[in-house]
Amino acid sequence: MRPTLLVAGREIRTRVRSRGFLWSTAITLALILLASLLPRAVTLLDRPTTLAVSGTVATAAAETLPETEFTVRPADDEAAARELVATGAARAALVTDDTADGPRSRLVIDGDLPAGQAATIDEAVRSATRSALLAAAGVDLAGIERDVDAAAPVTESIGAPTTDPILLVVAFLASLLLFMQLFVSGMAVAQGVVEEKSSRVIELLLAVVTPRQLLVGKVLGIGAVGLLQLALFLAAGLTGAVANGVVLLAGATDPAATLDAATEASAGGTSGVLPVVLVSLVWFLPGYLFYAFAYGAAGSMVSRQEDVGTVTTPLLFLVMGTYLSSVLALQDVTAPWVRWLSLVPPFSALLMPMRVGAGSVTGGELAVAGVLMVALVVVTALLGAGIYRRSVLHTGSRVGLRRALGRG
């Protein structure tokens, strides 16, 4: 056990002292934080449009405009409203005149309006004009509104609660990071094996440790660094999401207090975000071990870095397949095919965190998926160690699969 830990410690020290590792980690953390904070930054920079209003219908229409998009500024008359636009105090002016044929409105703008705002104003004016004409005709608008509200359907849920979209998105993003780490860490194992093999360092190492100890130590060392990276990435994403107001931890409140009632209700239920993050970290371990032993075995079959891509192509297809399954599962994580595929390793490494986030997994399913995943890791480790032992000292041409398996 001690030689294995020494090899693992050597791998950890080599990785964390590498400038490439430090720079890539720092850049990825910065990108994750930037991506998670970008929506709030855009919201803060995107100031509401100042709209000057004059006239009864214009004022009524302005009262229905969203406050996040418009700041209403009353004007005494059309001339005053136009003056506000001309001086830059308002971006646009909404003016309504009462004529014999009914209200007539005009929208005066300085240049153009942001996408969609003109349509929003148009709809508000149409609604306010309709209400004014109905009121002038003696229609009881208040009574109609009461009847419409009373006729609205009352939602009664007799099934399981719906999936929290916030948790589902968090679980998917965690699965995306899992995919990236599984691929990057797996390739690091393969490239590390080939590097030692091509430089003949492997001969010196095998003089003091066995091939199995060397492979296991390399897998554990690179895996520890990969797990650390994943934890940092998830922490950065969660920190940015909390600061952005997208995710509220249990007992927390949005500092900007700008979430509407629906969003607050959703965010209030995201106390399960931390369990989803922890589950993602836990599932990284067996997923990584499977791919790491497979990549290590594949890397031992070649002697040049240029050949690594060739022998690892089947593994690339497999890891891409697991990622694509998680993308498709995002459409309906409760679908039967997602349930069954999430039990099958190595797909379970990415799908199970998503199902946990959706709240659609049982303890029994988690246990079955975990047992199957561990069994696959054990089988892969034994096969990988055998292939590594038979191939790692072979230089020159690529080792055939039959020979690597001891059948040739």
What's the average model confidence in pLDDT over 292-315?
Answer: 90
Mean pLDDT of 66-88: 89
d(CA 339, CA 228): 29
One domain, residues 189 and 92: no
Evaluate if residue 147 carries a pLDDT over 90: no
* Span 83-90, average pLDDT: 90
Q: Do 118 and 171 fall within a single domain?
A: no
pLDDT at 276: 79
Which of 91, 110, 141 is the endpoint of a domain?
A: 141
Q: How sure is the predictor about 255, in pLDDT bands with cuts at 50, 70 and 90?
A: very low
* Same-domain pairing of 262 and 348: yes
With cut-offs at 50, 70 and 90, classify the pLDDT of residue 260. very low
Distance separating alpha carbons of residues 180 and 377, to the nearest angstrom: 19
**Are 131 and 204 members of one domain?**
no
**High-pLDDT (> 70) share of the chain, %:** 88
DSSP for 185-212 reads: HHHHHHHHHHHHHHTTHHHHHTTTS-HH
CA–CA dist 117, 68 (Å, integer): 11
Query: Tell me, what CATH number does 134's domain have?
Result: 3.40.190.10
Residue 210 CB neighbours (<10 A): 14
Are 188 and 321 found together in one domain?
yes
Task: Give the side-chain half-sphere CA count within 13 A for 174.
Answer: 34
Contact 124, 58 (CB under 8 A): no
| Predicted local confidence at residue 110, as pLDDT | 81
Residue 16 lies in a domain: yes
- Please check whether residue 150 lies inside any domain of the structure: no
Instruction: Identify the pLDDT of residue 315.
Output: 92
Residues 228 and 350 in one domain: yes
Asked if residue 366 and residue 290 are part of one domain, the reply reads yes
Whether residue 218 is predicted with pLDDT greater than 60 in this model: the reply is yes
In the chain, what percentage of residues exceed pLDDT 90?
25
Q: Is residue 357 in some structural domain?
A: yes
Query: 225 vs 69, which has greater pLDDT?
Result: 225
Q: Which of 75-84, 129-138, 375-384, 398-407 has the least mean pLDDT?
A: 398-407
Burial 253-275 (b: 16+ CB within 10 A, else e): ebeeeebeeeeeebbbebebbee
The encoded tokens of residue 263 equal: 């969003």
pLDDT of residue 41: 64
pLDDT band at 289 (very low <50, low <70, confident <90, very high): very high
- The domain tally of the chain equals 2
32 and 127 in a single domain? The answer is: no
User: Is 284 a domain residue?
Assistant: yes
- Which pLDDT tens digit goes with each residue over 156-186? 766 555 566 777 777 788 888 888 888 999 8
Average pLDDT over residues 267-271: 44
Mean pLDDT of all residues belonging to the chain? 83
Give the C-alpha separation, 387 to 311, whole Å.
Answer: 13
Which residues fall within 8 angstroms of residue 371, CB to CB, at 6 or more apart?
A: none
Q: Are residues 131 and 181 in the same domain?
A: no
215 and 274 housed in the same domain: yes
In a domain, 277, yes or no: yes
114 and 257 in one domain?
A: no
Q: Which domain holds residue 132?
A: 47-141
Q: Are residues 21 and 58 in the same domain?
A: no
Name the burial class of residue 233, with classes exposed (0-12), middle (13-18) and buried (19+) by CB atoms within 10 angstroms of its CB: buried
Residue 391 lies in a domain: yes
Residues 40-69 have pLDDT tens digits of 666 666 678 889 999 888 899 989 888 878
pLDDT at 158: 66
What's the pLDDT tens digit per position in 309-347? 889 999 999 999 999 998 998 888 888 999 999 999 999
